[in-house]
Amino acid sequence: MSLSRYELRASVAVSDIRRAVEFYEGRLGLPVLRSGPSARIADGGRVYGSGGGPALNVYQSTTAGQTTATLATWYVQDLDRLVDELAAAGVECVRYDGLVHDARGITARAGGGRIAWIQDPDGNTFALESDD
């Protein structure tokens, strides 16, 4: 048996599903594929699509925002345009000490290409990477 035959979906805990909906749908523009309960919270979960299929499970939980690690990465083309669009929607790039960021918050990626990070209202971190 191998897990490589199955789709993989990232799961992200949030403290307030309504606030998360505003961010993931309103600011990031992710389409809702399904919504439903999360533990004891009616309508406390969402599955969002990206890249043509289900990609991100967002659910309300008391464990929200407890990691500083990057939870998922979007591999994109035209990183500059995407970061500008996100900034216009109120999403700012995270800047890390020790890295040189351009005016948009984009930095060189190890091994080539460029990367930027964004965070949801709970501090869950996502990367945007580009080979250009």
Q: Could you tell me the residue range of the domain that residue 14 belongs to? A: 3-130
Please answer whether residues 23 and 121 qualify as being in contact, where contact means their C-beta atoms are separated by less than 8 angstroms.
yes
* pLDDT per residue of the chain (132 residues) written in tens, 0 to 9: 688 988 889 999 999 999 999 999 999 999 999 999 987 888 899 999 999 999 999 999 999 999 999 999 999 999 999 999 999 999 999 999 999 999 999 999 999 999 999 999 999 999 999 998
Domain count, the chain: 1
Burial class (CB in 10 A: 0-12, 13-18, 19+), 15: middle
Burial class (CB in 10 A: 0-12, 13-18, 19+), 50: middle
Q: What is the pTM of this model?
A: 0.92
Total number of residues shown for the chain: 132
Residue 9: CATH number of its domain: 3.10.180.10
Q: Residue 105 is which amino acid?
A: G
